[in-house]
Structure 1
Amino acid sequence: MDDVAGRYWGEVGQHHAGSTDTWRDVERLVDYFTPTKLLTEISDDDVTRLVAWRRGHRVVRSKKHKAESPLVSNATVNRSTTEVLKKLFTRAKKNWGVRFENEPDWKSHLLPEPQERIRELVGDEWEKLEGATRDDYVPFLTFARASGLRLRECLLRWPEVDWDARQIRKLGKGKKLVTVPITPTIRGILWPLRGQHAEHVFTYVAARTRAGRVKGKRYPLTYSGVKIAWRRLRAKAGVTDFRFHDIRHDVGTKLLRETGNLKLVQKALNHSDLKTTTRYAHVLEDEVATAMERVAKSRAKSRKPAREAS
């Protein structure tokens, strides 16, 4: 396991957008199975016990409140444990020539997950969020809503912004190229930020001098920093049950409601599979009902003259 983890990290893991998470997840597997455990010895029974062990873990929010935290979700167990172990097996088979006589049946170990909910902003929720946002975070927040990008994808660097081509290009989820047109709205957000930082587009102003930062100077926004700021912002705004990722869902639902075009929404959200985009199809229910009613009335009109003639 120790050798497998090291090779996987060197060849693949360290290059992930969320490499810190990859390191943690792989290290957890090594600790559980022990460094000397052979990958070829891991059976279905071993994976079953692994999943049961992982399900007993709690979400770690802080050391102080660790015992009070909820248990990790089925999705977390699947993504951070079962699927990570499967990736080690896949890498060993395809790239290292390892043969498994009794590879675990991965599908049987995946826990059921509820269908992802689609939450959009309603009423004055956006105004509340915007009003509670620090001035130095406003460009980042408005860009997230204007682009529909994932949080990590919103953390732009200037070389990824092509003013001449009017396009943003960067590696996104799964190391796939994500492209976003620089619309007049997005240009209005990004253009004033030039000169604030040589490399990073979005920055914040340090509120105090500590941890190597100097009060009043600008520093790049980070994934973890945005997550912390988002929790505080949401609480201050009084907007509940709304994750940062739901900004992307809000963009998708409103775009589909405006256009009625699933393929267009797929392109805008950079979905590789149209099936992913169909999660937003519920917003078309009213339009479908209206269209069906028009068809029914049209048929009724076409039958009426025939009855009158008889």
Structure 2
Amino acid sequence: MSVYKDPRSPYYSFDFQHAGNRFHGSTKCTTRREAEKFEALEREKAKALVKATRRAKASLAIDDVADRLWTHSARYDSEPKATETNLARLVEYFGPSKQVTDIDHKAAKDLVAWRRGHRVSRRGKRTKEEERALPLVSNATVNRSATKVLQRLFTFAKAEGAVFENEPKWGELILPEPEERVRELKIEEADALDEAMRADYGPFFDFVRASGMRLKECVTLRWSEVDFGTRQIVRFGKGARRVVFPITPAVREILFPLQGQHPEFVFTYVAIYGNKRLGRVRGQRYPLTYTGAKTAWQRLRASSGLADFRFHDFRHDFGTKLLRDSGNLKLVQKALNHRDIKSTLRYAHVLDEDVAEAVERLAESRKKSRSKLREVG
């Protein structure tokens, strides 16, 4: 057996070769017998790794797999920066040389526990006490940013030919998520928002409420996607799907006056302060950014006193009101660009009153029919 004791360490080390590859490291064992058992397990792992690597015909180090996944498809995600951050987090957690074939259920479970201990991030400097006061990330965030990202790495590696003998049980690792709530904007809340609104941000938020589009879709709207002649906005939404949104009279009233403010982007803001580093001149207009829109929303929500309402709830508000007005789930599905109507069904509760009225009409109709039968009898 190739275990030996380094005089500078209390532990035995191992060092062997298999199929032209060298494997070495500390056994973390203080007796030769335990060290030899450890080395035997490492030899079995080495055989499995070489076998899997030959089938995959590429390195199975997590850093390399993540890099190939990024080049192959991840960089084309709807939010590539978030994907890049999530992949980098996994590489940092496991270490760049960690073989994905060595990540078993326990290792994945430990990852989930580690990620659950993180707190949500907020912009700006904070004291340690303020940082500790921030809430922990949600189960949904853990699922999307850790578990499902790791599962995606496994799926990609398997498509390349890798074989996993101890793949994590993904169904057991996915944390339960509460059903997404549907929140409507009340009339008094809308009035409070309008009163607290900065004039240069007004058109943007009016469009958000009138279109039901996602934050990123609104911020990045370009004039090349707006056609007043055909009365359509044509662009690619989540999942690179082609989305056509009608320019209604209300939407036209919002967008038409904005022409000429910027040659490319529809929505802009006025710089209140100059900033040499960013090239901002006080009083000049600049395209609205994703981060800037989120910051503006947080300030608007605070100054208006609006509670328990997220930016995404504008989309829920749009879907709910549209369904209540039309009674057509398929129409709402198309308007919100939902791939699966199951996503649209979350708004179905607004039809409860219509169902109740229909049931009542049916009952009344049966009563009348019975009365007529009695009269005839």
Per the normalisation by structure 2, the TM-score is 0.79
1:106 paired to 2:170: yes
Say if 1:86 and 1:162 are closer, same or farther in 2 by CA, change over 3 A.
farther
For residues 50 and 180 of structure 1, the distance between their equivalents in structure 2, rounded to whole angstroms, comes to: 41
Post-superposition offset of 1:10 = 2.4
Deviations 1:131-172 (A, max 9, x none): 211111111101111111011111201222233332212222
Q: Which amino acid aligns with 1:10?
A: T
Structure number with greater CO (CA < 8 Å, separation at least 6) is: 1
Post-superposition offset of 1:97 = 3.1
Paired residues for 1:73-84 under 5 Å: 73-84=138-149
Q: 1:92 aligns with which of 123, 144, 157?
A: 157
Post-superposition offset of 1:178 = 2.1
Unaligned stretches of 5+ in structure 2? 1-61
Between stretches 126-135 and 255-264, larger displacement belongs to: 126-135
Post-superposition offset of 1:44 = 1.2
Q: 1:130 aligns with which of 187, 190, 194?
A: 194
Paired residues for 1:140-219 under 5 Å: 140-155=204-219, 156-210=221-275, 211-212=277-278, 213-219=280-286
Give the match's secondary structure for 2:250: helix
Q: 2:345 aligns with which of 262, 278, 288?
A: 278
Post-superposition offset of 1:11 = 2.6
Unaligned stretches of 5+ in structure 1? none
Task: Please name the residue that 1:242 is paired with.
Answer: 309
For residues 241 and 100 of structure 1, the distance between their equivalents in structure 2, rounded to whole angstroms, comes to: 44
Task: Please name the residue that 1:72 is paired with.
Answer: 137
Give the match's secondary structure for 1:178: strand
Deviations 1:210-264 (A, max 9, x none): 1321111111111111111101101111111111111111111111111111111
Post-superposition offset of 1:304 = 1.5
Q: 2:333 aligns with which of 266, 270, 288?
A: 266
Q: Which amino acid aligns with 1:103?
A: E
Task: Please name the residue that 2:362 is paired with.
Answer: 295
Post-superposition offset of 1:267 = 1.0
Between stretches 296-305 and 98-107, larger displacement belongs to: 98-107
Between stretches 59-68 and 31-40, larger displacement belongs to: 59-68
Give the match's secondary structure for 2:333: helix
Task: Please name the residue that 1:228 is paired with.
Answer: 295
For residues 206 and 15 of structure 1, the distance between their equivalents in structure 2, rounded to whole angstroms, comes to: 32
For residues 103 and 163 of structure 1, the distance between their equivalents in structure 2, rounded to whole angstroms, comes to: 53
For residues 92 and 125 of structure 2, the distance between their equivalents in structure 1, rounded to whole angstroms, comes to: 21
For residues 149 and 214 of structure 2, the distance between their equivalents in structure 1, rounded to whole angstroms, comes to: 22
Q: Percent identity?
A: 58
Give the match's secondary structure for 2:187: coil
Paired residues, what number?
309
Q: Which amino acid aligns with 1:254?
A: K
1:6 paired to 2:70: no
Note the aligned Cα RMSD (angstroms). 1.5
For residues 285 and 162 of structure 2, the distance between their equivalents in structure 1, rounded to whole angstroms, comes to: 49
Post-superposition offset of 1:82 = 0.7
For residues 243 and 198 of structure 2, the distance between their equivalents in structure 1, rounded to whole angstroms, comes to: 28
Deviations 1:100-142 (A, max 9, x none): 3333221211100111000001132112112211111111101
For residues 134 and 7 of structure 1, the distance between their equivalents in structure 2, rounded to whole angstroms, comes to: 45
For residues 223 and 100 of structure 2, the distance between their equivalents in structure 1, rounded to whole angstroms, comes to: 43
For residues 109 and 63 of structure 1, the distance between their equivalents in structure 2, rounded to whole angstroms, comes to: 34
Note if contact 1:59-1:66 (Cα within 8 Å) is conserved in structure 2.
no
Post-superposition offset of 1:300 = 0.9
Q: Which amino acid aligns with 2:113?
A: A
For residues 159 and 123 of structure 1, the distance between their equivalents in structure 2, rounded to whole angstroms, comes to: 34
Q: 1:120 aligns with which of 184, 187, 193?
A: 184
Task: Please name the residue that 1:48 is paired with.
Answer: 109
For residues 65 and 207 of structure 2, the distance between their equivalents in structure 1, rounded to whole angstroms, comes to: 40
Say if 1:125 and 1:77 are closer, same or farther in 2 by CA, change over 3 A.
same
Q: 1:60 aligns with which of 93, 117, 121?
A: 121
For residues 207 and 103 of structure 2, the distance between their equivalents in structure 1, rounded to whole angstroms, comes to: 46
